[in-house]
Structure 1
Amino acid sequence: MHIRHSGPGDIDAVRAIYAQPSNYASTLQLPHPSRALWEKRLGGTDEHFHSLVACEGDEILGQIGIASHARPRRRHVANVGMAVSETARGCGVGRALLQAAIDLCEGWLAVHRIELEVYTDNAAAIALYEACGFVHEGTARGYAWRDGRFVDAHLMARLSGPLAPTG
């Protein structure tokens, strides 16, 4: 398996991963994502968005998006979101994608704080994030509408380097 930046030729494969029921249920994506939506997301025109994919040969197994903030007082912050193909779970794809995103953020983008939101019922993702140094910062009740009801999400973050006092 190798990790690389996504390109225009990856749009259909990435869209297909997010179209899997467990992936749109675990993210803020909607069922039946359009190609146009993914062309816009992965088109490479936003300098503050980076997309990495995990590949085995020519097959894309997962994708992670990294959105860094453009506003001056939040330039040190990025938000990540990812999905792994249902057929590739439990094989280290999510960990490899997350570690590559952390390395890009902390080593090259001068990101000090990486944030994410994860539904409270997604135990596998929560365990992965905790193992990679993310900590719970709170729970957003009624965070999103999913399958006819509101669901909660944990707000998690990873900080690099020493923390300055907040008081």
Structure 2
Amino acid sequence: MHAPEPLIVIQRFTEAHLEGVTALYNEPAVCRQVLQMPFQSVEAWRNKLEMDNERRLQLVAVHGGEVIGQLGLEQLLRVRRSHVGAFGMGVAPTWQGKGVGSRLLAAALDVADNWMNLRRVELTVYADNEAAQKLYCKFGFEVEGRMRDYAVRDGQFVDTVSMARIRTPA
């Protein structure tokens, strides 16, 4: 007999999650894998939350009242690209590889497909983040290209990979 799965709840990101999301992205191991600056304030995350509208979906994964993951999906505003959404995600280091990213991504793609009617969902991920790339491939994302010296991380220029999933009509 094995231990029961931990209860992970996916919720819409609200004011109640601000401290937890701020702490998540200020965790050095998370911060170095996303395209955000370290030491962000709660106020910076509050501003992102206030920009919430029907073109933005912001989710959190919560376990025992603690934020253990976050995903933001945004539909692009330009008319000729309104069928496209882009997202970013972070998962607490102790929860990586335990299905949190899969749960967040499944929930976001359900909304992207069935509510936002997005045909294309795209992302940028560091080229050396093989675990994340593997997760995205599991959900139908494909590598479209490599962008050299795309960002600075740990004082070095690093490459990223552009990935996208294109939903085909049923």
Question: Do both proteins adopt the same fold according to a TM-score greater than 0.5, normalized to the shorter chain?
Answer: yes
State the match for 1:165 in structure 2: none
Deviation of 1:120 (Å):
0.6
User: Structure 1 residues 39-48 or 68-77, which shifts more?
Assistant: 39-48
Q: Tell me whether 1:56 sits opposite 2:63 in the alignment.
A: yes
Q: 2:142 & 2:126 partners in 1: Cα distance?
A: 14
State the match for 1:123 in structure 2: 130
| Cα-Cα RMSD | 1.1
The superposition leaves residues 85-128 of structure 1 with CA deviations (integer Å, 9 ceiling, x where unpaired) of 11211210001101111111011001110000000110110110
Identity of aligned residues (%): 41
Q: Give the AA of the match of 1:138.
A: G
Deviation of 1:45 (Å):
3.8
Q: Give the AA of the match of 2:123.
A: L
State the match for 1:83 in structure 2: 90
Q: 1:45 & 1:85 partners in 2: Cα distance?
A: 23
State the match for 2:43 in structure 1: 36
Q: 1:132 & 1:52 partners in 2: Cα distance?
A: 18
Q: Give the AA of the match of 2:11.
A: R
Q: 1:60 & 1:149 partners in 2: Cα distance?
A: 30
Q: 2:79 & 2:31 partners in 1: Cα distance?
A: 32
State the match for 1:26 in structure 2: 33
Aligned-partner SS, 1:50: strand
Q: 1:36 & 1:59 partners in 2: Cα distance?
A: 19
Q: 1:43 & 1:106 partners in 2: Cα distance?
A: 24
Deviation of 1:42 (Å):
1.5
Deviation of 1:44 (Å):
4.7
Contact 1:63 1:97 survives alignment (8 Å): yes
Correspondence list, 1:94-105, <5 A: 94-105=101-112
Q: 2:28 & 2:47 partners in 1: Cα distance?
A: 22
Contact 1:143 1:152 survives alignment (8 Å): yes
Contact 1:8 1:43 survives alignment (8 Å): no
Structure 1 unmatched runs, 5+:
163-167
Structure 2 unmatched runs, 5+:
1-7
State the match for 2:22 in structure 1: 15
Deviation of 1:59 (Å):
1.6
